[in-house]
């Protein structure tokens, strides 16, 4: 069964999420503090997606996110943000989250996001060429790894999915909507900003100089183009 961690200190919200996760066919693991969440993750290495609240009694959700990402690039991470925490969305994504859901959210919305993350994690490498080699980059589609000049670059699932899309479409200008649809799915109703935030993060990882990118270039008023 697919296992999901829910970190939320408010018992009512947590129970509500757990009930709906179980109803949607997920195995739910609960945590009420950041420390507890990290403990649960250690005990349950098969957790595929973690849902992290931001306001917690012992540490904030971003810190938990950074902690998880320090050792685990594979897990999908969804942040729970309040409406007033507009900036937190960006901060959360910059600390390694894959997605965010704004409170109050519907159970359907949350499970749709989890399903989408699971689809990306599961990947579907079938039928793809095993290696995509362009310029200094080698992407191994079977292992979902990336090397630049023979050095491994660690990517989150979302960053990997975006880069794979680019490497499969070299020289082609892709709109932000193209990227959003290809990576997050057609039923995703989030904002285009999430694309820009992930591109910013990718540039830091793969460009020689992220302030003057030459691999992922901006196509003003449209989107991005890959060339290596």
Give the range of 17-25, 50-58, 136-144, 204-212 binding Ca ion by CB under 5 A. Answer: 50-58
Binding flag, residue 9, Ca ion (CB under 5 A)? yes
Query: Tokens standing for 127?
Result: 């039928």
Give the range of 49-57, 127-135, 151-159, 188-196 binding Ca ion by CB under 5 A. Answer: 49-57
Q: Are 42 and 125 in contact (CB under 8 A)?
A: no
Give the range of 5-13, 71-79, 111-119, 172-180 binding Ca ion by CB under 5 A. Answer: 5-13
For Ca ion, the binding residue among 24, 35, 38, 55 (CB under 5 A) is 55
Least Å distance, CB 40 to Ca ion, is 17
Q: 35-40: long-range contacts at Cβ-Cβ below 8 A with a sequence spacing of 24 or more? A: 35/59, 36/7, 37/5, 37/7, 37/64, 38/64, 38/67, 38/68, 40/5
Least Å distance, CB 13 to Ca ion, is 8
Query: Tokens standing for 24?
Result: 């949607």
- Using a 10 angstrom Cβ sphere, with 0-12 exposed, 13-18 middle and 19 or more buried, the burial of residue 209 is exposed
Least Å distance, CB 30 to Ca ion, is 13
Least Å distance, CB 10 to Ca ion, is 5
Binding flag, residue 53, Ca ion (CB under 5 A)? yes
Give the range of 8-16, 17-25, 57-65, 194-202 binding Ca ion by CB under 5 A. Answer: 8-16
Three-state SS string across 51-95, please? EEECCCCCCCHHHHHHHHHHHCCCCEEEEEEECCCHHHHHHHHHC
Binding flag, residue 63, Ca ion (CB under 5 A)? no
Of residues 55 and 138, the one with the C-beta less far from Ca ion: 55
Q: Rounded CA gap, 34 and 39, in Å?
A: 9
Task: Using CB under 5 A, list all residues that contact Ca ion.
Answer: 9, 53, 55
């Amino acid at each position: 069964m697919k296992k999901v961690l829910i970190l939320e200190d408010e018992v009512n919200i947590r129970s509500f999420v757990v009930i709906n996760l179980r109803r949607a066919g997920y195995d739910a693991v609960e945590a009420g503090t950041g420390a507890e969440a990290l403990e649960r993750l250690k005990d349950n290495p098969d957790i595929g997606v973690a849902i992290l609240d931001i306001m917690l009694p012992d540490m904030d959700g971003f810190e938990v996110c950074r902690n998880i990402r320090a050792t685990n690039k594979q897990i999908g991470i969804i942040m729970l943000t309040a409406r007033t925490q507009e900036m937190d969305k960006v901060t959360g994504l910059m600390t390694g989250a894959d997605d965010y859901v704004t409170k109050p959210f519907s159970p359907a919305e949350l499970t749709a996001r989890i399903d989408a993350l699971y689809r990306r994690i599961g990947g579907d490498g079938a039928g793809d060429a095993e290696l995509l080699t362009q310029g200094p980059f080698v992407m191994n589609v079977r292992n979902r790894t990336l090397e630049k000049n023979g050095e491994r670059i660690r990517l989150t699932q979302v960053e990997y999915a975006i880069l794979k899309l680019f490497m499969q479409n070299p020289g082609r200008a892709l709109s932000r909507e193209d990227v959003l649809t290809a990576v997050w799915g057609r039923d995703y109703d989030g904002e285009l900003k999430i694309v820009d935030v992930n591109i910013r993060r990718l540039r830091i990882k793969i460009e020689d100089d992220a302030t003057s990118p030459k691999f992922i270039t901006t196509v003003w008023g449209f989107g991005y183009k890959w060339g290596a």
